[in-house]
Amino acid sequence: MYKKIGEMKNFEQLIYNIFQPLFEATQDPSSHPKLHIFLQRVIGFDTVDDESKAERRHYRKFPRARDWNTDENPPYTYYIYYLFANIASLNVWRKQRGFNVFVLRPHCGEAGDPDHIAAAVLCCHSISHGLVLRKIPLLQYIFYLEQIGIAMSPLSNNALFLSYDRNPFKSYFKIGLNVSLSTDDPLQFHYTKEPLVEEYAVAAQIHKLSAVDMCELARNSVKQSGFEHALKQKWLGLDYRTPGAKGNDPRKSNIPNVREGYRHETLYGEDAMLKMFGAPKARLSVSNLEPQRTTQTEQNPVSPTEGVAMSVMTHPSATNPLTASQSFSAAGLPQAALSQHRQQIAAHDDQPQTAAAEMHHNEDDSHSNDLYSTIARTTSFDVRNGNLPRLTPGMIMHSERARRRSSVFNSPELVARVRSIEEEDDKRV
């Protein structure tokens, strides 16, 4: 649009118009005093557009921003990349100067290509809408593992793209994705003075949400938000960043520890499964990679106003109960487990449960040690024959229990013991 009316010649000028004043205000706040004060109240950046518009690829290889001088709009991924790169650079400088930093929270996945969701995984702190995830199980699984925030607005989607009964909000929530309810254009799509309460009320009536479900959604919303760390502690408790029941304060959140413990252990079960069964599949591709893990105390704080450049990381997920800096390979497997235990598993190919049993000793989270050791002791899948558990979130523990139950009742010792008891009963009769 700006190119057609003659205000800009290339895409680089658009980027300059957005970020040059921000860099100048960071360098010398007195040069833009009002902007400097305004930036202290800004949490992040959003991108709003009609994602359903078709994106035509005019270049085999995308040019630099200064060379994009055609009348056609750059694709969504092109916008996201340049926004992320400049926000990351700006955050480093603002962190060094003690100013607040920003995150990237775009409208993403409401419609359009799956590439939008893939770009969000790499560059964004959290997203809004995310309806397209229902069609892409792989990216949905990555969103689950990384606990990337998804702020959904079913009432807005009902008016524009997807009817309320087909909205995937309930399925996302049941699976364990980090979803929350949010408003979108309340003056256009809502009918009351409290549009957010309207979103919660309609969702509770349509999806039959319980009081615990509503409280969990509200807790996710607070954790995804950009409010200060002190405010989040006041609303959720002092240890709200600690995953699982240890970080839950039922007096603040009104969520039972059983619910938080289930979410936490299910997520760690998926992580443990990937560590145990991912390494043999990726030996040749990860031999030169080093593990990158951080402890819970080293994780970045949730609030972007605490002076930590979260956008500098590949994916700065503030609510990830695993590790904030954990990198993923092309197959979506944690590099830490693959690199750290590759040689151990190679040396114990005939006993995969032995290599898996050693993995829990290297974990930093003491709460997860018992879970890792339990899974390692009770798992004897033959990874060479592809006998793996289901990769559906939350199903690893269930499938493992069913396998153990069937293997115990089919053991020769138990069968012989039952037969001997039956023979004794027959003789007694």
The yes-or-no answer on residue 229 being catalytic is no
DSSP string covering 266-323, please?
HHHHHHHHHHHHHTGGGTTTSTT-------GGGSPPS-GGGS--GGGSSS--TT-SS-
Tokens 């060094």 sit on residue: 96
Candidate list 107, 116, 125, 129, residue with the active-site label: 129
Maximum distance among all Cα pairs of the chain, rounded to whole angstroms? 102
CB 149 within 8 A of CB 177: no
Alpha-helix residue ranges (DSSP H) falling in 110-168: 115-123, 137-146, 154-160
CB 23 within 8 A of CB 93: yes
- Of 19, 24, 52, 54, the C-alpha closest to 36 is 24
CA distance 97 to 27: 9
CA distance 334 to 331: 9
CA distance 127 to 328: 20
CB 130 within 8 A of CB 157: no
Run of H or E residues at 149:
strand 149-152
**Dihedral angle, C-alpha 221, 225, 229, 233, nearest 10 °:** -10
Catalytic residues: 129
